[in-house]
Amino acid sequence: MKTRSKIQEQHSSLFSSLIIMIIVGIGVIRRCNGEGYLIGVGSYDMTGPAAEVNMMGYANMDQSTAGVHFRLRARTFIVAESSQGPRFAFVNLDAGMASQLVNIKVLDKLKSRFGDLYTEENVAISGIHTHAGPGGYLQYLVYSITSLGFVQQSFDAIVNAIEQSIVQAHHNLKPGSVFINEGDVVNAGINRSPSAYLLNPAEERARYPSNVDTLMTLLKFVDDASGKSVGAFSWFATHGTSMSKNNLLISGDNKGAAARFFEDWFSSSSSSSTTSADSSASLLSLIKKAQSMKATGGKLCGKTSSRESKVRKNNGSLFVGAFCQSNVGDVTPNVLGAFCADSGRPCDFNHSSCHGNDLLCLGRGPGYPDEILSTKIIGERQFQKAAHLFTTATQQLTGTIDYRHVYLNFTDIEVELLDGNKKVKTCPAALGPGFAAGTTDGPGAFGFQQGDTKINKLWRKLRDALKKPTPYQVDCQKPKTVLLDTGEMFVPYAWAPAILPIQMLRLGKLIILSVPGEFTTMAGRRLREAVKETLISNSNGEFDDETHIVIAGLTNTYSQYIATFEEYAQQRYEAASTLYGPHTLSAYIQEFEKLAKAMAKGEQITKGPSPPDLSSVQLRLLLEPTGDLPPPHTNFGDMKQDIIIPKSGSFKKGDRPIATFWSANPRYDLLTEGTFAVVELLQGKHWVPVYDDDDFCLFFKWKVDNITLYGTATIEWEIPRDADSGVYRLRHFGSSKKTKDSPNIYFTGASSGFAVS
């Protein structure tokens, strides 16, 4: 005979099940009516080699990875109309940009898993444009010269992360709702080429309040069954150059920082569980207890030990917050402006140089001279706006999911200009002398200035030794003077892309334009307006002024910059890096209008010529890792320099405890979804991880002695203001070299304990 409590439990269980069934049923009905979607999000570690690999972005030969500021991730959302219906996947990479070869290999892997469910048509892979990630993953030579060619380990880390994040998102698909919100981000970007922007027509400029786009567009993803938010993706334009070209730590820069802040904010606001020390302990007892906790010395550990010590364990259920890039071409996060390093005065307005020297003109972030602080501030400004948009989002997206994608040979597109009386063409890729000058975010080579249209005799001879441009190319690129004729250079293989993808993704009244480069502010505005006008004029009221158009920059491949025709005339950095000549933007607008018209009318389009797979011919000149062995009579994980305790006996909030361990090269194992560094808090008799190398406050630095070739890992913890008082220690994880006779040997070591008051 059942007891009353058991009957009540059974009724309660049945009632709960009924409620869930009703909620799910409503979701099914909404989807049948075209109002609801299946949604899924995923995230995976793509940090890559943290030592001796040149960073992608500044093209600085001296900037090779030497540790981790915080880890890089691939973040994905998928939306679908039904389990087998129209869908698309958008992947946001903590990388400098997308790569054509990465796309090719990812799509191969997805085909083997899912058949034709995810293809080049409906998968977009976009980079945030950090300049602090490992390079060597793009297939065209001009983008891999400084990384000494192709770096397989860097490439594999990105490909694997994209695949795994998509797999997570796919398996997480469930009935859900998508909300959209927009708002302006204050003081997170200024125009770094303002003189070029002023060349755009005055009446056009008068339509906008600023010479940069300040609008952030955010999508909020909500699980219909639980009502719980599972992710948020936003688009906003600002460069990933808060970290300078002198930085050696892997970092997602300001957008990666914003993502970390957002995800941690959501996690803390959604959970009541905390990890804390014994707050009743006196400072004297904390110091005494810390003194008894000695360094462990290097010890062997398991392959998964670093994953088990990870603070944010990735089981596929974590909230995913992504900060995507937009028309970022001329937008810098160094919002204080550009100043001369020698005089402190503002740089020359037209050329961004100092007395004719481009190397002296440097942009300053809001935390100047602390670039870590600048990264944090610009990241926080984006995060705070995103959090506000997230919590106030009420406009729900409903309606059709659709997409269009085409490959184009951008070296030879015939463009009909707006007046209809003249046809022009794009050109083979080329770079001008203004490209060599660099920008205020990262000055280039001495002897060049932005706006240069002349090349001295020495550089002309060097250029011609590589490849003298054809008369057609010289004329086609004017007023750019060809410094590097990358589009006509094919030894040992292609230096620049010719075949580019463009793509449109539709989620109801949201249109995402996937562009393979960096549009300047005005170039992006023109593209958005042209697409919107085409959609409205070719549909039967399905699109209107409420249609949202977002540019997803640096997506699916990379082809540098896209400036307006007027900006091209001045040949500042962005124009000199507009590869396909003065009519590049017009070509983009024309071809996107074709996609928009096809989408509005429900028509299909021809795929176009497929890009090449150059994986078999890549140069691979990076040397093997160094740091094979520890010094005699020591083990990996042993202390080289233990924590130095302050005279007061304890550290205060804001202090920086530092410990150095004998360590192997982090290239021997990337510890993907694990950590090289951990801060542990003593709870009772157990050490509990509370910060790892995915935290903004913890720094992992690795270097090798050039004489002895012994490697060391230094862990620095900037104690947060909200850290608990207690006893802590720093722990390091690593792996030794794998040989033919033995697998990787994993090790760990921990510093002595120290008190934080």
Q: Which residues are annotated as a binding site for Zn(2+)?
A: 129, 239, 518, 561
Q: How far apart are CA 643 and CA 651, in angstroms?
A: 11
How many other C-beta atoms lie within 10 A of the C-beta of residue 551?
26
Q: What percentage of the chain's residues is helix, strand, coil (to nearest 5)?
A: 25, 25, 45
Residue keyed to tokens 């023109």 = 526
Torsion angle of the four alpha carbons 226, 227, 228, 231, in this order, in degrees rounded to the nearest 10: 120
DSSP string across 406-422:
EEEETTS-EEE-TTSS-
Helix (H, G, I), strand (E, B) or coil at 292: coil
Whether the Cβ atoms of residue 463 and residue 485 lie closer than 8 Å to each other: yes
* Under 8 Å between Cβ of 519 and 607: no
Q: Position 543: which residue type?
A: F
326-357 core/surface letters (b: 16 or more CB in 10 A; e: else):
bbbbbbbbbbeebbbeeeeeebbebbbbbeeb
Alpha-carbon Rg for the chain in angstroms: 27
Longest Cα–Cα distance of the chain, Å, equals 101
Residue at token pair 């994608």: 405
In the annotated binding site, the residues are: 129, 239, 518, 561
What is the token pair recorded at 573? 């950095």
Asked if residues 421 and 358 have their Cβ atoms less than 8 Å apart, the reply is no
Contact (Cβ atoms closer than 8 angstroms) between residue 500 and residue 514: no
d(CA 391, CA 47): 30
Burial class (CB in 10 A: 0-12, 13-18, 19+), 307: middle
Query: Strand (E) positions, 328-439?
Result: 331-332, 337-340, 361-364, 395-397, 401-409, 414-416, 423-425
Contact 407, 608 (CB under 8 A): yes
